[in-house]
A and B are shown apart, each in its own frame.
Chain A
Amino acid sequence: MTIALNDPTLRTSAGTALHARIAKYAVFGLLLLAYPLIATDFWIVQIGAQALFMGTIALSLMWLGGYGGMVSLAQLTFAGVAGYMLAIFGTSNHPELSLGWPWWVALPLAIAIATAFATVTGMLAARTEGIYTIMITLAIAVAFSLFCRQNYDIFNGFSGFAGLRPPDLFGLDLRAPLPFYYLCLLFAACAYAGVVYVQRSTFGLALQAVRDNPRRMRAIGFNVYAHRVAAYAMSGLLAAMGGVLLVWFNGRISPDSIDAGPTINVLVMAVLGGMLHPIGPYVGALVFILLQNFAVDLIDPERFNLVIGIAFLTIVLASPDGLVGLWRRLVDRRPGADRG
């Protein structure tokens, strides 16, 4: 290691790669920051903000699936738990059910409870592998939605909660398009940076090793189960961040918004974009939302699910690692390509 680090040629090439990466992030970040300057309110909120927070929920799946090898369908449920907790501890249109605590108590509490919920789900789901995980998390997701639909004492049953709004910060109305977009961008940037950082940490590397060969990792002395549960906990945190923005965006949360259909949509986003790289879920979410908004122009608006289903099938059949994988193969095929 030390020899390699002291090798001047290696150091410069690593340095250039690092510079290139920083430059890439800077350009990309500036584009995202400047985006509202050129876009209309519809494009800022309906497309931009929505892609950012749905992408964050899909990122929580990419983190579990891509680095942990566990495809979970409960990610929207974690987001929904955060949303419900925000409604219950904060303020909503049901003052008799909501506790009305200030946002700086309700928000962290909601995210913490969602993370705890994800941890417990992980403790159950991590006992299983591969396709079994999909089935169990799907069952958990639908069961939670059913429970919320039946429970009127806490979750207000069928109609759920409405009137949820982000707080006014220093006189700034976070519901307005521009502030809300930047709020979503901030959350997404934190989530993205978090995944990129943790994925390279000791824990992240061990998790990827567990994904590739759990038996060997167990033999070496790693606690495979604990790593998986911890991965679920982190995915819960990410999903909760997206979930909070989701309920602020919709202004409401109900069992319908977390049942099987929307749950599958999160998987569709992650798979469309690809589970190779944390940027995938954001790409997938963007494509999904563009299709959702403009399928109306392509085909009967009622047939949106047909369009998205066919898009999903095409990607799964043609490019198992999604649009990002497709893009990578195109770039690699280009003569003199630099993957930097």
Chain B
Amino acid sequence: MKQFILTTLNGMTLAALYFLVASGFTLVFGLMRNVNLAHGALYLLGAYVGWSVAEATGYWLLGVAAGFAATAVLGLALQVLIFRRMEGQDLRQTMVTIGIAIVLADLMMWFWGGETYQFTAPEVIDGSVPLPLTPGWRYPTYRVALLVAAVGIGVGLWLFLNRTKVGMMIRAGVDDRAMLAASGVNVQRVFAVTFMVGAGLAGFAGVVGGTALSIAPGEDVRYLLASLIVVIVGGLGSISGAAIGALIIGLAEQYGLAYSPTYGAVYTFLILVAALALRPQGLMGRA
């Protein structure tokens, strides 16, 4: 019973992390039809930058801010300098993001080397908290904080998309780009903001995920793949889909790891196949 509850909690915190990474990915895709295969590289870049800043200043929160800012600025630059020039060429944009992922991965290897880095979380969220309604079981505070942060980001994104003017423009753009442009909105600016937020979320997730687990080369591919599967299962372009997809994949991965460790990774894939076979547009996707 204890194992089941702890596995469920682990699955939920992993889902929280997956949601943070995948929400930016799905946001960018929903509006710009840009499958950013450099999203994993942005995740890792955010983690590295955040780690360096946190090490240099001694403030973890500064690291979080730096991770977000660095990838947000890079995302903005990519959108303005490259993707704007090839609007409507989905496949070519994807190819470009693959090239960027290769280059970024190698540059990061160059600067930060092949070692594994570990953040030290601030004391407030370090350690463990007692679980309610249990005979004295404890759970790492940081993971609880991660869960809370993900819910916070999710609510924040929902408010941003549903209650602000920019969010309204983004939603309108998802439905009909041409109509949005025709009604006098500067679509390019909306695109730039969206890409910035999406990339920034990847960097933010990098620092947060790097604190929960660790940072090492190869994590970029892992989180890219996780985001891909999460958004395919949940429905591309849908934030709520990303949340549901993340929950399914996170739980499946942890249950798999706990109850049949050998093929934990393969279950995720089976879910993907099932989702594709039964509902190709994803659980929350529109046909």
Chain A residues in the interface with B (C-beta under 8 A): 71, 124, 127-128, 130-132, 134-136, 138-140, 142-143, 146-147, 150-151, 260-261, 264, 267-268, 271, 302-303, 305-306, 308-310, 312-313, 316-317, 320
Are the C-beta atoms of A306 and B225 separated by less than 8 Å? Answer: no
Q: Which residues of A contact B277 (CB under 8 A)?
A: 124, 127
Contact B221 A142 (CB under 8 A): yes
Q: List 21 A-B contacts (CB under 8 A).
A: A71-B91, A124-B277, A127-B277, A127-B280, A128-B280, A139-B228, A139-B229, A139-B232, A139-B269, A147-B263, A150-B263, A150-B265, A261-B221, A267-B95, A302-B109, A303-B106, A306-B110, A309-B100, A313-B100, A316-B92, A320-B92
Residue of A nearest to B98 (CB): A264
Q: Contacts of A146 on B, CB cut-off 8 Å?
A: 265-266, 269
On chain B, the residues within 8 Å of A134 by CB distance are 35, 37, 91, 94
- In the complex, what's the smallest C-beta–C-beta distance from A65 to chain B, in angstroms? 9
Q: Is the CB of A313 within 8 A of B276?
A: no
Task: Provide the bound-state CA to CA distance between A320 and B85, in Å.
Answer: 13
Residues of A within 8 A of B228 (CB): 135, 138-139
- Let me know if B185 is at the binding interface, CB within 8 A: no
Our pick among B99, B105, B225 for the contact of A313 (Cβ within 8 Å) is B99
- Residue of A at shortest CB range from B99? A313
Q: For the complex, what is the distance from the CA of A138 to the CA of B224, rounded to whole Å?
A: 10
Contact of A135 (CB < 8 Å), options: B89, B99, B232, B262? B232
- Given A131-B35, A135-B35, the answer on whether A124 and B100 have CB atoms closer than 8 Å is no
For the complex, is B96 an interface residue (Cβ under 8 Å from A)? Answer: yes
Closest 6 CB pairs of A and B: A309-B102, A313-B99, A309-B103, A143-B269, A305-B106, A306-B106
Beta-carbon contacts of B271-286 to A below 8 Å, as 1s and 0s? 0110011001000000
Q: Please indicate the chain B residues that have their CB under 8 angstroms from the CB of A317 in the complex.
A: 82, 96
Residues of B219-268 contacting chain A, CB below 8 A: 221, 225, 228-229, 232, 236, 262-263, 265-266, 268
* CB of B189 to closest CB in A, whole Å: 23
Tell me if B107 counts as interface (CB < 8 A to partner A): yes
A19 and B95 alpha carbons, distance in the complex (Å)? 38
Query: What interface size band does chain B fall in?
Result: 35 or more
**A306 with B90: CB separation less than 8 A:** no
Q: A147 CA to B105 CA in the complex, in Å?
A: 24
A246 to B276 CA separation, bound complex (whole angstroms): 32
CB distance from B106 to the nearest CB of A (A): 4
B interface, over-half SS: helix
- B262 contacts A127, C-beta separation under 8 Å: no
Across-interface contacts of B276 in A (CB, < 8 A)? 124, 127-128, 136
Given A303-B106, A310-B103, A313-B103, A267-B96 contact (CB < 8 Å):
no
Report the bound CA distance from A290 to B125 in whole Å: 52
Taking the closest CB of chain A, its distance from the CB of B107, in whole angstroms, is 7
CB of A306 within 8 A of CB of B103, answer yes
Q: Is the interface of A mostly helix, strand, loop or mixed?
A: helix
Instruction: Say how far B256's CB is from chain A's closest CB, in angstroms.
Output: 11
What residues of A have a CB within 8 angstroms of the CB of B106 in the complex? 303, 305-306, 309
Decide if A131 touches B90 in the complex (CB within 8 Å).
yes
In the complex, what residues of A have CB within 8 A of residue B268's CB?
143
Given A130-B91, A138-B225, CB of A151 within 8 Å of CB of B262: yes
How many angstroms from the CA of A132 to the CA of B280 in the assembled complex? Answer: 10
Contact A147–B266 (Cβ < 8 Å): yes
The docked-state distance in angstroms from the alpha carbon of A272 to that of B95 is 11
B:100-130 near A, CB below 8 Å: 100, 102-103, 105-107, 109-110
CA distance A193 to B175 in the complex (A): 46
Verify A316–B96 contact, CB threshold 8 A.
Answer: yes
Q: How far is the CA of A309 from the CA of B90 in the complex (A)?
A: 19
Contact across chains for B102 and A312 when beta carbons are under 8 A apart? yes
Residue A312 contacts which of B35, B90, B92, B98 (CB distance < 8 angstroms)?
A: B98
Closest B residue to A305 by beta carbon equals B106
The docked-state distance in angstroms from the alpha carbon of A268 to that of B98 is 9
Which residues of chain B come closer than 8 Å to A127, judged between CB atoms?
276-277, 280
* Most central of B33, B92, B106 by chain A CB within 10 Å: B106
B126 to chain A, nearest CB (A): 32
B19 to chain A, nearest CB (A): 18
Alpha-carbon distance between A239 and B94 when the two chains are bound, in angstroms: 23
A140 to B280, CA, bound (A): 15
Q: Evaluate contact between B99 and A316: CB separation under 8 angstroms.
A: yes
Smallest beta-carbon distance A138→chain B, Å: 7
Question: Which residue of chain B has the shortest Cβ distance to A308 in the bound complex?
Answer: B102
Partner of B110, one of A147, A260, A303: A303
CB neighbours of B89 from chain A (8 A): 320
A257 CB, min distance to chain B CBs, angstroms: 15
> How far in angstroms is the closest Cβ of chain A from B228?
5
Q: Which of B25-70 contact A (CB under 8 A)?
A: 33, 35, 37
Whole-angstrom CA separation of A317 from B96 in the bound complex: 7
Q: Chain B contacts of A260 at CB under 8 A?
A: 221, 225
> In the complex the two chains form, what is the Cα distance from A305 to B99 in whole Å?
10
Contact between B229 and A267, CB atoms less than 8 A apart: no
The distance from the CB of B112 to the nearest CB of chain A, in whole angstroms, is 13
| CA gap between A268 and B143 in the complex, in Å | 39
Residues of A within 8 A of B273 (CB): 124
On whether the beta carbons of A267 and B90 are closer than 8 Å, the reply is: no
